[in-house]
Amino acid sequence: MSKSMKRVEDALRAAGLTVEIKALGEARTAQMAADVAGCHLDQIAKSIIFLGETSGRALLFLTAGGNRVDGQKASAVAGEPLGKADAALIRAQTGFAIGGVAPIGHLSPIRAFLDPRLLEFSTIWTAAGTPHHIFEMPSAELPRITGAETADFTG
User: What pTM was computed for the model?
Assistant: 0.95
- Counting Cβ atoms within 10 Å, is residue 122 exposed (0-12), middle (13-18) or buried (19+)? exposed
Look up the CATH architecture of domain 3-150: Alpha-Beta Complex (3.90)
Q: Contact at 8 Å (CB) between 110 and 85?
A: no
Per-residue pLDDT reduced to its tens digit, 61-93: 999 999 999 999 999 999 999 999 999 999 999
Q: Which pLDDT score is estimated for 1?
A: 81
- Distance between alpha carbon 30 and the CA centroid of its chain, in Å? 12
Q: Which pLDDT score is estimated for 26?
A: 76
Q: Phi-psi category of 56—alpha, beta or left, where left has phi over 0 and alpha has psi -120 to 50?
A: left
Per-residue pLDDT reduced to its tens digit, 34-57: 999 999 999 999 999 999 999 999
Q: Contact at 8 Å (CB) between 112 and 103?
A: yes
Say which residues have a Cβ less than 8 Å from residue 105's Cβ, sequence separation at least 6: 4, 7, 8, 9, 10, 11, 12, 95, 96, 129
Per-residue pLDDT reduced to its tens digit, 94-141: 999 998 999 999 999 999 999 999 999 999 999 999 999 999 999 999
Q: Which value, in Å, is the radius of gyration of the alpha carbons in the chain? A: 14
